[in-house]
Amino acid sequence: MSVKVAVAGASGYAGGELLRLLSAHPEVEIGALTAGGNAGTALGAHHPHLVPLAGRILVETTAEQLAGHDVVFLALPHGQSAGLAEQLGEDVTVIDCGADFRLTEAETWVEFYGGEHAGSWPYGLPELPGQRDKLRGSHRVAVPGCYPTVSTLALLPAVQRGLVDPTQLVVVAVSGTSGAGKAPKAHLLGAEVMGSASAYGVGGVHRHTPEIEQNLTPYAEGPVSVSFTPVLVPMSRGILATCSAPAVEGTDLAMLRQAYEEAYANEPFIHLLPEGQWPQTQATLGANTVQLQVTIDQRIGRVVVVAAMDNLTKGTAGAAVQCMNLATGLDETLALPLVGVAP
């Protein structure tokens, strides 16, 4: 079986990571590669690491260029996907790395993104209970945001088992700068980023806050609310999320570990580390994995979960390929590395 794929936004960070993974995919033929202003240039000018594809010329991002493929990956800025997806037939599998189709509630979309809500597609986090079946054979997939992926997976077993108060979730997550994309931004100039860590989107205003709540709500006994604080740190990729919540009376460490062991026992990409070993971003770099560790801060009765993930791999492109595998009936794990890059 050969799946012909196109990548829109191939010159960007998510597009580049998609092509790194797809280049090693045994069932994939790489078709059109598109860009915005960089259409007409060679892929290698943007991604010199993608050696076998370096000479490929980027074309304009139009429905015509994307037609004729089995799978179209959209790795474009928010707001660009809906118009293109509309013009692609229902028989084409469209996997959107952007946010346009992640949120189910129009009101929440308007509050956090502004503008019209395009709708919602099956959410590309196969590790959510029951979600795999919705992704198998689906022709539309909304790939999660990077922070929501790591935060949801870090908190889900504790929330689902009723071990924590789901109205008091706290996530503080540091991220490498590739999370912001490659387009120049004032707060991402070298001098601002190097040698400094800076919080942003503080106070419940970051757009990933409602996405985390949306993900956990179906598995909680009551309402879910999260205080989410992202922090930019001087590394190119990786997220380390520290997630905590008040422990429900009676929760002990053995119960907590058991909840995580059982929840992820059959998940190929989600790994609870041996006791005493704490996640590091480096161990997940370039891998489609999330590494987790749990404990209880007995002094104040809080469950604490630390999780590491590569924002560009499991946080975007790896998740997108995992969803393509599911949607097209391939082995879910094909072409997805378990092995990171270290040191």
Ligand X SMILES: NC(=O)C1=CN([C@@H]2O[C@H](COP(=O)(O)OP(=O)(O)OC[C@H]3O[C@@H](n4cnc5c(N)ncnc54)[C@H](OP(=O)(O)O)[C@@H]3O)[C@@H](O)[C@H]2O)C=CC1
In angstroms, give the least distance from the CB of 329 to ligand X: 25
* Cβ distance to ligand X smaller for residue 287 or 296: 287
Per partner kind, with CB cut-offs from 5 to 8 A, the member of ligand X, ligand X2W, none near residue 251 is none
Site string for ligand X, 59-98 (x = CB under 6 A): --x-------------xxxx-x----------------xx
Question: Cβ 232 to ligand X2W, closest distance in Å?
Answer: 5
Task: Give the C-alpha distances (Å, rounded to integers) separating 179 from 14, 161, 279, 304.
Answer: 9, 31, 19, 24
Residue 191, sorted as left (phi over 0), alpha (psi -120 to 50) or beta, turns out to be: alpha
The β-bridge partners of 314 are none
Q: Which of the residues 213 through 242 are near ligand X2W (CB under 6 A)?
A: 230, 232
Report which residue type is found at 190: G
Choices 36-44, 212-220, 245-253, 296-304 (CB under 6 A): range interacting with ligand X: 36-44
If you ran DSSP here, which 8-state letter would residue 234 be given?
A: S
316 sits near ligand X (criterion: CB under 6 A) = yes
Which entry of ligand X, ligand X2W, none binds 324, CB below 5 to 8 A by partner kind?
none
Per annotation, catalytic residue among 97, 146, 243, 323: 146
User: Is residue 146 flagged as an active site residue?
Assistant: yes
Measured CA to CA, the distance from residue 339 to residue 52 in angstroms comes to 22
Nearer to ligand X, 37 or 250 (CB): 37
Neighbouring-strand partners of residue 187: none
Q: Residue 247 Cβ, how far from ligand X2W at the closest point, in Å?
A: 29
Return the number of the residue (41 or 277) whose C-beta is nearest ligand X. 41
User: Does residue 318 interact with ligand X2W by CB under 6 A?
Assistant: no
Alpha-carbon gap, residue 136 to 143, rounded angstroms: 14
Task: Sketch the per residue contact string, 108 through 147, with ligand X: x for CB under 6 A, - otherwise.
Answer: -------------------------------------xx-
Residues found in the chain: 343
* DSSP structure string for 5-74: EEEETTTSHHHHHHHHHHHT-TTEEEEEEEESTTTTSBHHHH-TT-GGGTTPBPEE--HHHHTT-SEEEE
Nearest approach, Cβ of 169 to ligand X2W (angstroms)?
A: 18
Min dist. Cβ of residue 156 to ligand X2W (A): 18
x/- site string to ligand X2W, residues 170 to 199, per CB under 6 A?
Answer: -----x---xx-------------------
Q: Could you tell me where the beta strands, DSSP code E, fall in 176-289? A: 198-199, 226-232, 239-246, 270-272
Task: Decide: 9 and 312 in contact? Cβ < 8 Å.
Answer: no
Per-residue b or e along 215-224, where b marks 16 or more CB atoms closer than 10 Å to that residue's CB: bbeebbeeeb
Q: By 3-state DSSP, what share of the chain in percent is helix, strand and coil, each rounded to 5? A: 30, 20, 45
List residues near ligand X2W by CB under 6 A. 98-99, 145-147, 175, 179-180, 230, 232
List residues near ligand X by CB under 6 A. 9-15, 35-38, 61, 75-78, 80, 97-99, 145-146, 178-179, 181-183, 311-312, 315-316
